[in-house]
Structure formats: C-alpha cells, structure tokens
Structure 1
Amino acid sequence: MDTLPTTATPAATATTSGSPRLFRGWLVVAGAFAVTFVGFGSAYTFSAFVESLQKDFNASRGSVSLVFSLAGFLYFGLGVLSGPLADRWGSRRLAVAGMLLVGLGLAAASRAQSLVQVYLAYGLGVGLGVGASYVPVVGAVQRWFLRRRGFASGLAVSGIGVGTLAMPPLASWLIDTQGWRHAYLVLGVLAAVVGTGLALLVENDPRGRGLGPDGDPPQPQSLSSAPAGFTVREALRTRRFIGLYAACLVCSFGLFVPFVHLVPYALDHGVAPGSAVLLLAMIGIGSTAGRFVLGGLADRMGRALALMLMFAGMALSLLVWAMSGGFAGLAVFAFAYGVFYGGFVALLPALVMDYFGGRHIGAIIGVLYTSVAVGTLVGPSAAGFAFDVSRSYLLPILASAAANFAAMGLLMAMPKSSTSS
C-alpha cells in the first residue's frame, strides 16, 4: 500500500490540487492584529474613564493620568525582556500569557477601592500584559515577510488603530449604562477570551514550516542556521541604533498625550461627552488608515524617509490641536494625528528589521522600545500635572509638537549605514 510522505516540499505546502494555499504568514498577521486590537484597544479606553476615576477617588487629573503612564511604561519597557524570551521560547507563549494578564488586570481594576489599587490592577495588569505580548508578536511578523514587510507590519499593528476606533466608544457606552466598574469587568473578559484565543495563531518563524519569508522556498542553509543579522550588543553599538533610540525617546514624551487628555480637553471646551469619546475613535480611524496606506507606501519610497515624514506629520497635527476648541477642529486633528501615529508604529519594527536583520529582532525591538517607555511614563502624567497648575493644555501640546520636530531632526542626522559609534 502506498504511504504519504511525512514531510511536504515547499511546493506542496504552497498548493493543494494545483491551487495556491493561504500563506501561513497572513494567519500570523491576523493573530498579531488580534493581540494589538485587544491589548492596546483596552489600554486606550483609559481616556473614557478619567472623569469617573477623578470623581470616585477625588483625585487630580495628573494623579489619574499617572495610571496610564505607569501602564505605558511597563508595556513598552517590558519588551526588553519579552523580546529575548520570544526569541528563545517562541512568540505564541508570550502572547497568550500577555492576553491573560490584560484580562486579569482589567477585572481587578473593577474591584479597586482606591486610586493606588487602580495603579496596581490596571497599571500592572495591562502594562505587563501588553508588554509581554506586543514586541513578540510584532517581531514574529517581521520574520515571515521580506518584500511586503512594511505592509504586513502595518496590517498587524493596525489592530491598535481598529482597537482605538472600537473600544473607547464601547467603554463609554458601558460606563454610561453600567458604571465604570462593570465596564472594566466586561473589557477584562473580552481580553481574556478573544485575545487569548486568537493569540494561538502566532508562530515565531516560517522555517518551522519549511518556508522562507513571503512563502518562498527557504534558502538551502536557512533551515539549519540562525537568521542573519546583528546580535543585540552589535546593534546597540551602531550609530543607527543610537539615532533611532534618541528620536523615539524624544518623540514619546508627547506621543500618548492625546490618548489620555483629548477627551478631557474636549469636555473642558464644551464638547458633549458622547462626541468627545468619538474623537478617540477618529484617532483610531486615522491610525488604521495610516497603517494600511503608509506601510505599503513606505515599502516603495523608503522606510527611513517615511519615518521622518511621520514625525513631521504628528508635529503639524498637534499644532492643529493647539488652535482648536470645537468638535470639528478637534476631529480634524484626531484623524490627522492618527494617520501619522499609525504610520510611525507600523514603520518602526520594519525599519529595525531592515537595519539589523532577524537574528535577534525581538530583543533589539524590545531594547528600542525602552525609549518609548520612558517618554510614556513622563509625558501623559506631566501634561496632567501641567493642567492642574495652569488649567490649560497649551504648553503640553506645544511641547509635544516640538518633541516630534526634534525627533525628525535626529533622524535626518543619522548615518546612512550601520557603522559602529
């Protein structure tokens, strides 16, 4: 009796009865999309909770903003650990663990009896959960693609934009109908069930399926050798990495200020609560468009140049915010900022892969994101405390715009080749 072969050739894995099969890399992208949708979508609902937390705990805007800053510091800073762990253990395990932590953190926040307990539940749960999952899934996507890496990376992290579009209005509706505690509980269940289930689609490397990037046949040596590229120590010594790190650090002081303070700003200027929350959805719409459109465009025009344009675009859109007080102007700002912010998030991992290869991509991205962690810890909370003192957001908004212009200048000064410093 004839027996089936135990291993499939690349051609066999690519076809069934002569018809092309879906490249597995797109399922990895789908898993990464779900993880970023649930993780960041849950995190970016925070602006909808600010007013409720202020009232229930009699807290200042700066102290409430610190909840998000702590979570942001952790979910970007933890990448320095989760990246190497994913390189060693695989991205799927980290993604599943992260989604469970997000769910537990949100559920615990629903039971908080003080703002300190919100710091611990939301800050640690969401912060550690997103931190455990984000860098591993983004790093995994980079290994599965070469020619369409910018587009695939943009598609994967467009989950952040779609999550920002869908989750804040959902949270606002839950707060209005059931209260903020039940809202956190519902979001926690959603994160644990949907996020964990779809995180199982993530796989670390196409070589495990006998494939090369983009579904091409693997190179003869690629199944038995490590991916090419820099070690972490080698990458950190290059002027390119130093330039990227400095640019991301400076930019991130203002990067997430709108995600925390746009809704309170709108409410302060007389915008109705329902419309104010929709501004976050506008950021989500713009962010989704930016990740889809600008990721593919950057593949053609050059990702380094495109990243500079993202910084310039965020800076200019922040100036629009500074001049806006009504819903229409704020909506224009929110959409434009979302486009360029989404492009920034989509391009950065792909540019790291371009510069340093896939050998330790997760670890290198993780180290790079510590720059964003520091800025996120400082920026949103500093903006809140500045408002508490001056009763105005003008200075934080202008400082955020200046930070993006400075980041663009740092990239312009970066060397064209990865030479050691």
Structure 2
Amino acid sequence: MQMNALKPHRKIDMSHDAERIVTPFYGWYVVLGAFAVTLVGFGSAYTFGAFIGSLEHDFHASRGSVSLVFSLAGFLYFGFGIFSGPLADRFGARMLAFLGMLVTGAGLILAGLAQSLTGVYAAYSLGIGLGVGLSYVPVLGAVQRWFVRRRGLASGLAVSGIGIGTLVMPPLATFLVSSIGWRHAYFVLGILAAVVGGGFALLLANDPQERGQAPDGDAIADRSERRPASGVSIRTAVTSRRFIGLYIACLIGSFGLFVPFVHLVPFALDHGIAPSTAALLLGVVGIGSTGGRFILGGIADKMERLMTILVMFAGIAGSMVIWILSKNVWTLGLFSLVFGVFYGGYVALLPAVVMDSFGGKNVSALIGILYTSVAFGTLIGPSVAGFAFDLTHSYTAPILACALTSLMAVAILALTSRASIPLHEMETT
C-alpha cells in the first residue's frame, strides 16, 4: 500500500526531469525553418541571371533595363524589412514568413505570364521584393533570440540557405529555361517557393519562452522567473554612433555587393563561356557563401563580431580585383569562390552584430532599419552597372567601383566600430 502511494509522486518527478532532459532544443528547428525560407526565397531571386538573355531577346530590352528588374526586387526585399521587422517583434515570425513565401511564389508565376517587360517588372519585383521582404528579417530576428553563446554559428547556419540556394537554384533555372522555356521555368519556381518555403516557415517560433525553453537549450530552473527580452529603444539605437557608422558602411558597401549576382553570368557569356558553365559560376558563389557562413560564423563567436564585418568588406574588395583580371572560367571560378566566402560571412554576421550591440527587445525592427541601407545599395548598384555596360560595352568601370565602395565601407567601420553602446538605457518588454 505504501509503495502504491509513492508511485504517483515518483512519476511526477520523473516526468518533470524527463521533460527537462529529453525535450530537444527547439532553437535548431527554428534554424532549419529559417534555412529553408532563405534558400527558397533568395535562391529564386538569384536565378535572375539565368533569365536575362531570354528577357533581352523576347522584349528587345537593354541590359541596363533588364538589370533594373533585379534591382527593384532587391530594393523591396531589403527595404521592406523596416515594416516586417516591427511586425515580427509584435506578432511573430511564423505568420509573416509563411505569407512571404506565398507572395514569392505568386510573383514568380505571374512573371511567367507577363506579356511585356513592364509586366515582368511588376510581377517579379513586387512578388520577390515583397515576398522575401516579409520573410527575411523576421526569420533572422527569430534566430537571434534563441542563441547567445552560439549566435554566430546559428546565424550562419540559418542564412546558409542563401548560399545553398545560390548553388542549386541558378543551375536548376538554367536547365528549366533551356528545356521548357523561361515562362514555364518561372511557374515551376513559383510552385517550389510556395510549397517548400511556406511549409518550412511553419517551424518558426519567435522566442524560446513560447516553448518553455531558454536560449542555447539551457535549463530553466524556475519557469516563474522568466524575464522578458531586454534591449535599448529603437530611438536610442539608431541615434548611436555605432549604428550610424554601421548603416553608412552597409549602404556604401552594398553598391557593389549584389553586382555579381546579376552580371557575373553575362560577363562570362561575353567572354565566350558556355551558358551552362556560366550558370555554374553562381553555384560556386553559393559554395563559397555556404562555407563562409559556417566557418566564419563559428569563428566570429570567439572574437568581436563587429570587427569581422570589417574583414568581410576587405575580402569582398580583394575578390573584385580577381574579377577584373579574370579572362577564363578558372579565374572566374576563383573569384566566385572568394567572393562567396566573404559575402556569406557578411550576411551571416550582420544580424548577430545588431543583437550583440542593442539587445533582443527590438532586434527585428533594428535589423529591418539597417537593411534599408542594403536596399538602396541593391537598387543602385546592379542597375548602374548594367547601364554602364550599355554605354561602354565593358564591365571594367563597374567592377572597379565595386572594389572602391567596399574599401570605403572598411574605412567607415574602422572609424566607428569602437563607439560605445548606451547599455544603461536598456529596457525590457
């Protein structure tokens, strides 16, 4: 009788212990969801180079005007973070990312149905721009809250989806364009974005406390002692010298950051490289990008992350020197790999720098504000490079400008990276 009376008590204790020990840390599922969303979203966006030739031919358009389609999309998906970030802080990342993937898919399908370049502008730019804009900043913000000690690695893994997407999606798009035509290719990519991206977006969770967990999978000794996220106010953050310096550096550095994603394939074709091989160069960028996100994200966890952003811009400038000297597929492959490594490291570490500097309370909103700088750079850089090519029939000047703007970003970060953070103004929700 005494043994039976003790059984319920022991069962409760054991189940409580089992819950704490056996329950898997959900943060890695959040990383998986973010990985899939960035793979499908940016992978679809970076297939644009595979469609340039078809769009030029079918609509009798110049390279500059066609490049503007990508620039408008990039402007929207980075710029829209200023709205999706605060919405994610308030309503959660899952809903926004799911909706964003549906919008991305619809935009790709409508681009395939367009009967004019203006129609492609509207469908692709709005679909990709708003779709990725709704999902990108929210998934980044969600990942930051789930990790502290391994934040750089987790961020790297999450956005390595961009690298994998760059590796697999452009060759897939090239194959589809050559086999079923560019219109049907857009239809296939649209279905892929909606089904795969939307499905994995449902894995997202905005905060460890939603799952009764703590960052990094640490045990919560007393669940009644959960503390809300802390961080400086948006106004305090955006008026700080560190944020202003980071914003200006990202703005100037982004002028050249996305030029290769639009113009590397046409550059290779102009140098007599076969279309299938030229498309693989973007895949090499994806390989380097994935490696950069894994390796550099982990290394940055052991050093000051803000200084690693400076190193990323310096590496991007060096890669542009390789590009301008490239004349064959091997040297272009080397450029693609080196550029990919430093580009991947930059994308992986930037959200973690924001979290480190200003806390988690408004992290999605601050990432969104910061990415407006990238939006303007994306709008200007690829399109200006295209129009410069139309005038000179050469990419020499645009590539040199890419190297110069990256070096300017290095100088700005070097001058502002040591600025203090107003931690005494930390607030909690």
TM-score, normalised to structure 2, is 0.94
**1:387–1:144 CA distance, 2 compared to 1 (3 A):** same
Partner residue of 1:43?
45
Q: Distance in 1 between matches of 2:207 and 2:13?
A: 17
Q: Report Cα offsets for 1:164-193 as digits up to 9, x if no partner.
A: 000000000000000000000000000000
Q: Distance in 2 between matches of 1:349 and 1:284?
A: 20
Q: Distance in 2 between matches of 1:85 and 1:418?
A: 28
Matches within 5 A, 1:232-381: 232-381=234-383
Unaligned runs of 5+ in 2: 1-6, 423-429
Partner residue of 2:425?
none
Secondary structure of 2:302's aligned partner: helix
Post-superposition shift, 1:307? 1.1
Letter of the structure 2 residue corresponding to residue 345 of structure 1? V
Secondary structure of 1:211's aligned partner: coil
**1:219–1:257 CA distance, 2 compared to 1 (3 A):** farther
Percent identical: 61
- Contact 2:25–2:213 (CA<8 Å) still a contact in 1? no
Task: Tell me which moved more, 114-123 or 207-216.
Answer: 207-216
Post-superposition shift, 1:212? 1.3
Task: Tell me which moved more, 230-239 or 217-226.
Answer: 217-226
Partner residue of 1:15?
21
Matches within 5 A, 1:75-94: 75-94=77-96
**1:7–1:145 CA distance, 2 compared to 1 (3 A):** farther
Q: Distance in 2 between matches of 1:330 and 1:317?
A: 10
Q: Distance in 1 between matches of 2:409 and 2:291?
A: 23
- Contact 1:42–1:163 (CA<8 Å) still a contact in 2? yes
Secondary structure of 1:110's aligned partner: helix
- Contact 1:106–1:121 (CA<8 Å) still a contact in 2? yes
The answer to whether 1:59 aligns with 2:65 is: no
Q: Distance in 1 between matches of 2:204 and 2:404?
A: 38
Post-superposition shift, 1:303? 0.8
Letter of the structure 2 residue corresponding to residue 206 of structure 1? P
**1:398–1:287 CA distance, 2 compared to 1 (3 A):** same
Partner residue of 2:171?
169
**1:203–1:360 CA distance, 2 compared to 1 (3 A):** same
Letter of the structure 2 residue corresponding to residue 315 of structure 1? A
Post-superposition shift, 1:217? 2.7
Q: Distance in 2 between matches of 1:4 and 1:168?
A: 58
Partner residue of 1:116?
118
Q: Distance in 1 between matches of 2:385 and 2:336?
A: 18
Secondary structure of 2:134's aligned partner: helix
Secondary structure of 1:392's aligned partner: coil
Q: Distance in 2 between matches of 1:250 and 1:356?
A: 22
Q: Number of matched residues? A: 416
Letter of the structure 2 residue corresponding to residue 376 of structure 1? T
Q: Distance in 1 between matches of 2:14 and 2:120?
A: 51
The answer to whether 1:200 aligns with 2:202 is: yes
**1:417–1:11 CA distance, 2 compared to 1 (3 A):** farther
Q: Distance in 2 between matches of 1:80 and 1:102?
A: 18
**1:340–1:177 CA distance, 2 compared to 1 (3 A):** same
Secondary structure of 1:67's aligned partner: helix
Post-superposition shift, 1:301? 2.5
Q: Distance in 2 between matches of 1:309 and 1:185?
A: 40
- Larger-gyration structure (1/2): 2
Q: Distance in 1 between matches of 2:17 and 2:418?
A: 38
Letter of the structure 2 residue corresponding to residue 401 of structure 1? A
Secondary structure of 1:146's aligned partner: coil
After TM superposition, what 4+ stretches of structure 1 lie above 6 angstroms from structure 2? 3-10
Partner residue of 1:100?
102
**1:382–1:11 CA distance, 2 compared to 1 (3 A):** farther
Letter of the structure 2 residue corresponding to residue 13 of structure 1? E
Q: Distance in 1 between matches of 2:360 and 2:413?
A: 22
Secondary structure of 1:301's aligned partner: coil
Q: Distance in 2 between matches of 1:417 and 1:405?
A: 20
Unaligned runs of 5+ in 1: none
- Contact 1:310–1:340 (CA<8 Å) still a contact in 2? yes
**1:419–1:214 CA distance, 2 compared to 1 (3 A):** closer
Q: Distance in 1 between matches of 2:222 and 2:407?
A: 45
Partner residue of 1:151?
153
Q: Distance in 2 between matches of 1:413 and 1:255?
A: 21
Q: Distance in 1 between matches of 2:385 and 2:11?
A: 63
